[in-house]
Structure formats: structure tokens, C-alpha cells
Structure 1
Amino acid sequence: MPYAAARTALFLALLCCTLLPAARVAAQVAEARPAGRQVTAELRDITEWYEAVGTIRPKTETTVEAQVQAKIVDIKVRPGQTVEKGELLVVLDDRELAARAERANQALTSARATRNQAREGIASAKAAFDNAQANYQRIKTLFASHTVTAQEMDRTEAEFLRAQSALVQARDGFEAAEGQAAQAEKALEEANLAAGHARIHAQAAGEVVKRQAEPGDLAFPGKPLLVLHTGRALRLEALVREGLISRVKPGDVFPVRVAALAVPGVDPRLTGDVPATGASAGLTAEIEEIVPTADPLTRTFLVKAALPETPGLFPGMFGRLFIPMGSRQAVVAPRAAVRRVGQLEMVTVMDGGVARTYAVKTGQALDGGNVEILSGLSGGETLLVQNGDR
């Protein structure tokens, strides 16, 4: 090979060796800068919350009980059924009650007859007394003029006294008969009232929550038969620890989260200002009542908070009442900028036009689709949200 040709070949080889690494670096940088939008990790104040767990309960709940002892013949309703005021709920066996009412009616008839007889006895005794009194006055006048003997006077006086005593007895008998008639009337009224209790009606419109008896069971006063939720108003009854009860006052409004209303896949943790997004986002409750006695076992107070009418919200559901405890500074970034790689959480940071990947640790979910960054960022970083990430 001529010398000039050899020198040219050597120059080309050296040029290739020089350019190839630079090409590779450019390719690596291009690969580290995927397409997407840029967002910023911010250092800001977020609210710390205390999570008071509790149960959704109706504000007005009615327990239906029997007022008489009798066997249950039929129960007309089932749980979940809506009832109107006055609607028949339970039918009891009223045969014994009806028989008792009939006996009371017969006793009243007899007492009234006795009272009528006593009234007639008073009239008869009064007539006899008037006659004896008139005769006594006449004999007394004659005795004063020495027309009749002392024996006649004594006999007439004795008849007068007997007539007077008979009148008093007749009046006492009438009062007793009248008292017995009044008692019989009360007994009949009670028997009729008891017979009326054999058919139990709804005292207010509502929804049947529980059915605690079946036909054939024995009903008696104090035994619950049905539980009705009368009215649509619900409230959350939550337990607040004693150290925070001073932060809760009637009239305060706090965020509430009901797990049963959450959208599947949504982080159920608290946000910075309201519960995390989902079906129960924005749900709040107003404190209505604070029971002024702490439970000595749990050291908590029972707090009752009124809930707005919400579709899908039912008594017995589990709920959380969030009480603010203060604020602190934290690094906050859009949730979409954090991606999971296996067990790691990663973010892409733009550093001087070069994309670098860092591992981070996230904390609680926040409002606006943000998340707290516990470690890995210090705030102010520019993050890359790759195309396809939400």
C-alpha cells in the first residue's frame, strides 16, 4: 500500500474511534429524556388529622314492642321495607284478650244493675223515713199535750230511728254499688284497650331495620319485635380521644370518610383538606352532641355528628371523622409523577436538561391529586410525568 493511502486509512480509523463514544452518549441522553410534561415538587404546609372511627346511626330509631302478652299470629313487614304511619305491623292472638273484655263487660252490666237496685232502695228508704219522721213529729206534739202515752211516744221514736238508719244504709249501699260500677267500667276500658293492642301499627313513617321475632313466638312487654328507622336523617357516632376533645365543639364541621362509598382502587387515606377523592369526597358532618363523660377503658368521648342525606349511606356503616390537629411542612408532588417499579417508588427529575431517576417514599394522599413525599426530594425539583401516566 502506498504511504499516502496508508495515512488516509489510519486517519479514518482514528476518526471513527473518536466519534463513536459521543454518538453513544447522545443516544443514552436521548433515551433518558422521554416525552412528557413537567411538574414541580413543592414544599408547603399540610394539615395533620386525627382519625376518629365510628358508626353511622339513625338520629331517630323506634323499637316496636308488644304492650300485652300474647302469641304472635303474623308479622306483616320485612327488613328494608318502607312503612307508612298507621300501617299494620304485627298481629297478636287476641282470643284471650277478647274473652277478658267480655267478662269485664258482664261484670259492668251486673254492677250497673246492683247500682240501680241500690238507687231504688234509697227511694224506698227515703219514703219510709219521711213517713216515720212525719208520724214521729205528730206523736211528739200529742205527747206534749198529754194526749198519747209515753209508751206510744217511745214506739214512734224507735220506728223513726230505724227508718233513719235504713236510709243511711241505703245511701251507703248505693255509694258502694256506684264504686263497683265505676271499677267495672275501668276494667272494661282496660280490657278493650288490651284487646286493641293485639294489632300493632306504625306510629310514624319509616323503614324497617330489624325483625327480631317470628310468628309463633310469644310477645310480651319489653321484648323488641321490630326496629324502625323513622326519618332519613343519619349521624356518625365516633370516639374521640380525651386529649383532643377540647378541639371539638357543637357546631363544628369536620370531614368524614365512609369506606363503603369509596371508589375501588382509590387511596382511602386522608387528603390535605378533605378525605381522599372518591364517592365520599367532600362529605362533612356537623357536631351535634358530645357526651360529657369519657369511657374509662378507652379514654375516649362519644361525639355525634349530623350527616347530610347521601345516596348509598345506611345505618351501621363504618365511618371516620377527621379532626385537624395542626399543620407541618412537607414536600408535595403530583401523584402522577410517581411510578412504581416492583416494590420501589420512582420519580424522574430533570437536572440541567438531563432526566435522572430517583427512588422516593410517599406518605399520605393529598387533595388535587397530590401526594406527600417523605424522602428522596427536598422541594423545588422539576419532575417529568411521562406520557401515559395519569
Structure 2
Amino acid sequence: MKRRLALVLGSAAVLLVVLWQAGALRTGTIAPGPGSAPEPGHQPWETTQTRQADIDEIYEAVGTIRPRTQTSIEAQITAKILEVRVRAGDFVKRGEVLVVLDDREHAARADSAAQAQASARAGLEQARQAVGEARAAFDTAAAQYKRIKTLFAERAVAEREMDQAEAEYLQAEARLSQAREAVAGAEAALGRSAKQHEEAGIAQGYAVIRAPEDMEVASRTAEPGDLAVPGKPLLVVQTAGALRLEAFVREGLIARARPGTELSVAIPALERTVSGVVEEVVPAADPTTRTFLVKVGLPDLLGAYPGMFGRLLVPAGRRTAVLVDARAVTRTGQLETVRVLDGDTWRTVFVRTVPAQGGEVEVLAGLAGGQTVALPGGVQ
């Protein structure tokens, strides 16, 4: 009997605890639950109205942030790398030395070309002197031939002397012509040697690679001791601080993304949305995705780097949407609910929303315009 009494008293105590935790033993007004009606003349919740409004429909084209200019630095000669003076992340000024190559071979070629040029110059001088001597001999032979020819006409000299004078004249003329050809050959040789010397000097200048513009080093793929050859990248540099978003826009909206158009760009990693101007549209669609590559210039953004993800927000027209105060939506896990006044009864409705502007959300399903909904936290 005592054991049964103890069991009854324990059960009663547990029941009282449960009722107390459920609020059944508390005094005051109990708020109505789903499907309950408020007391006459008493409004238990702060309320708001859903509304219909025409809003801009936005198409989000996913893209990647890239530098406006990216250049691959390569060697123009084959040579051993002596120095690489920069690393990834360094900022360089125009004309700053980036890579130094071994130029001894090209320096030797330049010296050899300089010596050949000097030799050709000396040969030209000798050829010109030979022309002067041949000119003097020709003038003498011509004067002698003219005099003998006059005397032969007067029958004052024999025919043999006339023939000898003519032969000497023709020989002198031939020697003068040969001397002139030698001068032309020496001038050509001097020109060739000068070009060779210039080419050797240019090749020697390629041993020092400098920055083409004020840029940032994106990557370094060579080290001292490596062999630099034409076509093998040594460094990749990009325009410092000048970035743009490259995104693919579907063909139906390409008319809204013409060059010069200002569009919004969302960068989730920075939690920012900025304005950019379309700089370029590749004039050919991808036949697989039917999209165009659009390049939008970005303002200077602290924390933005090439390769980051971004969205290009392209206006796609206007549509009618149902909007409600974002505070009216209660989220439990992935479920969204609102309290809706249906006549004199409050009921819970499941909804699906997306963010809008001005502290509102767009209701995709579950509500219509002009309905009264409760704002949680406003219980009186």
C-alpha cells in the first residue's frame, strides 16, 4: 500500500513539472497558436501587409576576375640565366631589370663584327684611292690618245703609234671601271659588316630583360642556371591594380551588355557589389553554351585578386513580384514560415523567398499580395 502511494505521488509530481514547463500553470494571456482566433478587440501581433510590385529581373552571369593585361616574359636569345631579380607578387616599374642572361657569346660576336666593319672600312678607303689613281691614268691616256688621233689625221704619225695610243686609252678606261667596281664592292662589304655589328649589338641587348610597363609579377617559372630559349616563359606579369570581370552572357541578353554599358558586379568573397563598364564583347558566341564573353572593367578594389569569383548582374526586364517585410519570415533549418491572418484566424504558411531590397524579401511561393502577416517578436 505504501509503495502504491509513493508511485502515485511521484507520477503526480512529474505531471506538475510537465504542466509548469508547458506554461499551463502560469498566469496571463496565452497567445493563440496556428488556427486559433484572437480575442475580440485585441491584436496579439504587430502586422504588416504583403504587396505586389514591378521589380527588375536580374540575370546573374558567373565569371572570373582577371587582369586587364597579362604578358608572358620570354627570352629572345638562347643563353644561360645569370639572375632573376623579381618574385611573384613584386611590383615593377617600366624599364626595371627583371632577368639577366649570359651575354659573353653575343659580346664576342659583336666584337668580331666590329673588327670586320673596321676591315671593310679600310678596304673601302683603299678602293677609293685605287679609283683616284685609275682616274689619273685614264685622264693621261685619254689626252695622249686625243693628241695622237689629231696628228694621225694630219698624217704626222704612223698608224702603229695611233694603235698603241688607242690601246693604252682602252686599258686605262678598263682599269678605272674595275676600280669603281671595287669601291662598290667595298661599300657593300662595309654595309654588311655594319648590319652584322648592329645585329650582334641587338642580340647582346636581349641579354638584359626589362619590364615593358608598370606591372605586377604574377608568376616566376625560371631560376638562375636554367637555359633560356625563345618560346619558354620566364615570368608572367600583369597590369598592377587594373582588373576586370570576364563573364559569359547568354545570347538573348547580349544587347543589354554592349561596350560602354554600366552594369553591377557582385564579388561574394568581398561581400561587395560595385559598378563596372563593359569594355569588350567577344564578337562570337560559344556554339556549345550559346553565350558571349563579356569583359567589364572594375574600379580599384582592396582585396580583389585575379582568379576570384564574381557575378555580372544583367537587367533582364521587369516582372510583378510579391514582397514582404523580411522580419515576417521565420526560418527553421531550411524551412521558411509566416503567420497569415485568414479571416479571424491566424495560421502558419510555408513560403519560399529570395532576398530583395529595402529590408524586404520576394515571396516565390506561398503568399499573394494584400495579405496580413505577423511580425515575430511583436507579441503584446
Scaled by the length of structure 1, what TM-score is found?
A: 0.81
Q: Distance in 2 between matches of 1:137 and 1:304?
A: 85
- Give 1:298's aligned residue: 289
Is contact 2:327-2:375 (8 Å) kept?
Answer: no
> CA 1:344/1:298 → structure 2, altered by over 3 Å: closer, same or farther?
closer
- Among candidates 159, 169, 174, match of residue 160 of structure 1: 169
Aligned position for 2:363: 373
Q: 1:230 aligns with which of 239, 259, 268?
A: 239
CA gap of 1:343–1:364, structure 2 versus 1, over 3 A, is: closer
- The match for 2:10 is none
Residues 362 and 371 in structure 1, CA contact (< 8 A), matched pair in contact too? no
Aligned length: 348
User: Which residue number corresponds to residue 254 of structure 2?
Assistant: 245
Q: Secondary structure at the match of 2:86?
A: coil
Please state how far the C-alpha of 1:97 moved relative to its aligned partner: 0.8
Moved more, 167-176 or 210-219: 210-219
The letter of the residue matching 2:87 is R
1:101-120 maps to which residues of 2 (within 5 A)? 101-120=110-129
- Give the C-alpha shift of residue 344 in structure 1: 2.5
Structure 1 gaps of 5+ residues are: 1-21, 263-279
Distance 2:192 2:106 in 1: 18
* Mapped contact 2:281–2:294 kept (Cα < 8 A): yes
How many angstroms does 1:51 deviate by?
A: 1.5
Using the alignment, how far apart are the partners of 1:189 and 1:57 within structure 2? 40
Distance 2:108 2:129 in 1: 32
CA deviations on 1:204-248 (whole Å, 9 max, x unpaired) are 112112223332333233333222223533221111112222333
Amino acid in structure 1 at the alignment position of 2:235? L
The CA distance in 1 between the partners of 2:72 and 2:110, in whole Å, is 28
Q: Take 1:378 and 1:353, find their aligned partners in 2: how far apart are those partners? A: 18
Residue 29 of structure 1 is aligned with which of 19, 28, 31?
Answer: 31
Q: Which residue of 1 aligns with 2:17?
A: none
TM-score, normalising length: structure 2:
0.83
Alignment of 1:262-301 (within 5 A): 262=271, 280-281=272-273, 283-301=274-292
Q: How does 1:107-186 map to 2 (within 5 A)?
A: 107-186=116-195
Counterpart contact for 1:360–1:373, Cα < 8 Å: no
1:47-83 CA deviation, whole Å, 9 max, x = no partner? 3221211222222333322222222221111111111
Q: CA deviation at 1:87?
A: 0.6
Q: State the match for 1:364 in structure 2.
A: 354
Give the match for residue 196 of structure 1.
205
Write the distance in 2 (CA, Å) between the matches of 1:30 and 1:299.
55
Verify the 8 A CA contact 1:295 1:301 in the aligned structure 2: yes
Distance 1:157-1:62 versus aligned 2 partners, 3 A rule: same
State the alpha-carbon separation in 1 of the partners of residues 221 and 32 from structure 2. 72
Shift of 1:23: 9.8
> Corresponding residue for 2:14?
none
Alpha-carbon contact 2:338-2:351 (below 8 Å) kept: no
Change (3 A) 1:357 1:30: closer
